Amino acid sequence: MASYGSRAMGRQMGWLRHVLTVLSVIIFLLGCIVIGYMAWVLATSVTVSRFLEGSMFWTYAVITLGFSLFFSGLVGWVGGASESPCLVRLFLMFIVLSMLAEIGGIISLNIFDKGFGDILEHGWKEVNQGTRNLVQKHLTCCGWEGLTDFANNNEPIDDSCYEKVTPSVSGIISRVDEETNPGTTRRMKQSPCMVNLQGWFEENKITWVTILATVAAIQVMCVGISIYILQRVSKLRKIRNTRTVSKRKLYDSSSEGSDDHKYMHRI
């Protein structure tokens, strides 16, 4: 009986439940990537006291986004695979809340007059040194505002801030290591990452805008498919309940007819 009920529920949801499951898995994996990255950032840069101060708005926003994607994808995955209308409703609620939060975040940025450069600057200040080193290495830059970031502090400067040059090139030279690199000199990169990072996003606008649009489209598709599945299940249940009531009435009427026939036969 249980296996029959499961097959009946699967027929009620239709083949779109498989599409919903695949989309939910994609959302779940995106959430895992975001949570994994932020866990690495927090474990290698931020102390607990600083995290609890309440001033790391970029970090809080990214963590919230990651967990919303993680839990909504997990619920949708289980709901589609187990053919549970209750979990599909919960998944729909999570997705709608996530979309409302994303829209609210965009509106808030416009209200507080925060541009894309401000977001990048907050992110640069809150990410770990490993992320900064990757940016400095691949975008050929050093520091958010350039060399002035290291003028008034004694923090160690990573090797990603240096570039190899010939001894004849002028610049700020750090040291000459004749043993490992004979005939070469290193100097600090002059370009600030603020300019190079914004330029990279501008050059690759088509790529990252397409990625964001794809994620938004997946969420919209999940909302539409969830609503369609729930309406389909509700409609089929109403039809099944109507048929059950009709059969009961027919059985009751046939029972009453047989009783009347027996009574007349006795007379």
174/48: higher pLDDT: 48
pLDDT for 171 equals: 47
Helix axes 85-111, 2-13, angle to 10 degrees: 40
Determine whether 92 is exposed, middle or buried from the number of CB atoms within 10 Å of its CB (0-12, 13-18, 19+). Answer: buried
The predicted model gives 67-96 an average pLDDT of: 92
Cα separation, 91 vs 231, whole angstroms: 15
Q: One-letter amino acid identity for 180?
A: T
pLDDT above 80 (res 26): yes
pLDDT higher than 50, residue 169: no
Q: Does the pLDDT of residue 223 top 90, yes or no? A: yes
- 207 or 251: which carries more pLDDT confidence? 207
pLDDT above 90 (res 150): no
Contacts of 148 (CB under 8 A, 6+ apart): none
E strand residue ranges, the chain: 162-165, 173-175, 185-188
With beta carbons less than 8 A apart as the criterion, state whether 34 and 68 touch.
no
The secondary element (H helix, E strand) that includes residue 260 is helix 205-266
Strand partners, 220: none
Please check whether residue 232 is in contact with residue 12, taking contact to mean a CB–CB distance below 8 angstroms. yes
- Burial grade of 203 (CB within 10 A; 0-12, 13-18, 19 or more): exposed
Report, as an integer, the average pLDDT of 191-211.
Answer: 92
pLDDT digits (tens, 9 = 90+) for 92-114: 999 999 999 889 888 888 887 78
One-letter amino acid for residue 256 of the chain? E
The residue behind tokens 């969420």 is 219
- Which of the pair, 21 or 172, is modelled with greater confidence? 21
Letter for the amino acid at 21?
T
